[in-house]
Structures are given as structure tokens and as C-alpha cells.
Structure 1
Amino acid sequence: MAAPRDDADTGSRVIAGDKPMADANGVMREALGQFEELTGHRPEAVSAMRKEEDGWLFRVEVMELRRIPDSMSLLATYEVRVDSDGGLTGWERVGRYERGRADRR
């Protein structure tokens, strides 16, 4: 797969086959802002992103319960779905873990 590059004519990102990539960064920022406002959980990281037929799917990591020491804090992974216009359409918690634990896979 070719690495993404900037298209000088349009300013959009392109990847193998010279197809413009949607502005995933802008979509992600808008959707995660909506997610934080509705849930009260501030995303710490985006661990996955996938373009889907009708929009985007993001996996985000959020702090759900702060503990001392921080390595014992509870984090959760959420799947956040966004329509093609960047509007939040839903979210679901798909996992929960202590910060200091390694991935179980």
C-alpha cells in the first residue's frame, strides 16, 4: 500500500490509486467533541479508525475511573460511529481495563 501524500492541487490527502481521503482528522475531532460532551468522558487516545460505507468507526480510549497509583486507573475502549457528514450516530463500550495491564490478546 502506498503511503499517503498531500495533493498540491486540492490540498486533500491521497493514497494508493490517487483517491482523495476524507478529512478524517476533522471528522474525528468533531465527533469526539460530541462524544465527550454527551458522555463526560474525555478521549485519551484514538486506537483505531476505519472508513465504512456510511461513515467512520473510531475506537477511543477513555479514563473511566481515576485511581492512585495511576497504573490502577480504569480505562475503557469505546467504538464511536460517525456518519459521512461527521455527525455522531452512536457509541458503545467494548472493553474495560486497568491502565497498568497488558493487552489480553
Structure 2
Amino acid sequence: MELSEITERAMRVHALYDRLNAAQRGRTWERQDFVLGFAGDVGDLAKLTQAADGIRPAPGGRDLGHELADCLWSVVVIARLYGVDLESAFTATMADLEQSITGALDAEAQR
């Protein structure tokens, strides 16, 4: 699945959540609500990785793949809500990191 397809699907689910929240709570989530929700998802992810590494008991209900997918959904939705072209940002950031890390490795090799 391409990022554009992931984004389309994520936004369809976002629209469904908007309808559900409007019906149940009388309001839809603002951008900041999605960011706070993402912070919670990352916390859940941390617990699941600790469980996978034997550091803590496994929490019930969700697996690591599910939580990673929740986090991806949040990142995609937040990027769209803030007008970030995630594909371009990712490509540029990875290029910057590759250049920076390669430079650091070259400097280490010259020591």
C-alpha cells in the first residue's frame, strides 16, 4: 500500500470518527485532540514493547502491530490536519539524516 492510499484510508476513518464524535459528544476532535490521542498511543506502544522485551507483563487487548498501526494513523491524520506533505518531509529528513550520519562515520574513520 502506498502512502497516498494509507492517507486516503486514514482520512476516511477520520471522517467516520468525526461523525461518531458529533453524534455522541456533540463535537468533533480538534487538531490538538489528535496530538493528545497520539501521545496516548505512543504510551501504549511503549508498554507493549516493554512487554515484548520481558520488562513488564503484557497489557491485554492489543498487540504491537495494532498499536503501531494506530500510531501510523495518528501521524498521517496529524500531518494532513497541519498541512504537512508527509512523503516530502520524510524523504527530505531521511536524506538529511543519511548525510549527517555518513559525515559522522567518515569523521570517525579518520580518527
**Larger relative contact order (CA 8 Å, sep ≥ 6):** 2
TM range (shorter): under 0.3
Q: Which has the larger radius of gyration?
A: 2
Higher strand share: 1
TM-score scaled by structure 2?
A: 0.27
TM-score scaled by structure 1?
A: 0.28
